[in-house]
A and B are shown apart, each in its own frame.
Chain A
Amino acid sequence: QQQVKQSPQSLIVQKGGISIINCAYENTAFDYFPWYQQFPGKGPALLIAIRPDVSEKKEGRFTISFNKSAKQFSLHIMDSQPGDSATYFCAASIRSRGSQGNLIFGKGTKLSVKP
């Protein structure tokens, strides 16, 4: 119930292509869905996040698509660049009053963008 399932485990995309990473969850109480980006040797950093009251959020080349009925959300990276090569983690938490708001992370996707 608390799991967030992420796929694929690894992804290779050509420069200029679209990278798509998918996540699924079971707990309908989750109400905050962030994506974190981690470069080798560094800590994860927030990339973009969405709440379930919207179906899509876009920030530059990064877009989250959210499907509440399917309990799925995905990260789309348009015009992928070699500098986007990193590990991406989806996560979910409950932000309502009384909850600790702890993040449940997916297992990560290692993205490689080939020049």
Chain B
Amino acid sequence: NAGVTQTPKFQVLKTGQSMTLQCAQDMNHNSMYWYRQDPGMGLRLIYYSASEGTTDKGEVPNGYNVSRLNKREFSLRLESAAPSQTSVYFCASRGGLGETQYFGPGTRLLVL
């Protein structure tokens, strides 16, 4: 039981490049989330998906797109990376009646 997995663990991009961050969970959870974590800013919600086939904007969605590929997978795409998107990105999932969000190990992204 791996829980929430994220790939890649670390990535360096040049300004303007695109990339997709992958997230998968094996807990049969309905809800999935993407957060970014910056020093002194806590965890800020980028996008979330309450169930397969639905996605909604969070607090800081600009510059990002998401895809809920199936119940297991929720990807985050940066179409044209900017230095302001340098951050640590966390994916999380939550079960239908549960309250606990389970986080992945994170992806560290550096945009030069």
Contacts and interface: CB of A to CB of B under 8 A. Distances in A.
Interface string A23-37: 000000000101000
Nearest to B94: A101
A89 B42 contact: yes
Contacts of A9: 40
Contacts of A43: 4, 90, 92, 103-106
B103 A95 contact: no
Interface of A: 6, 9, 32, 34, 41-46, 49, 89, 93, 95, 100-103, 105-108
Contacts, number: 52
B61 interface: no
Contacts of A6: 42
A101 B31 CA distance: 10
Nearest to A106: B42
Interface stretch (B13-21, B43-51, B73-81): B43-51
Contacts of B44: 105
Contacts of B106: 41-43
Contact of A107 (B42, B48, B58, B94): B42
B90 A44 contact: yes
A49 B43 contact: no
Nearest to A32: B99
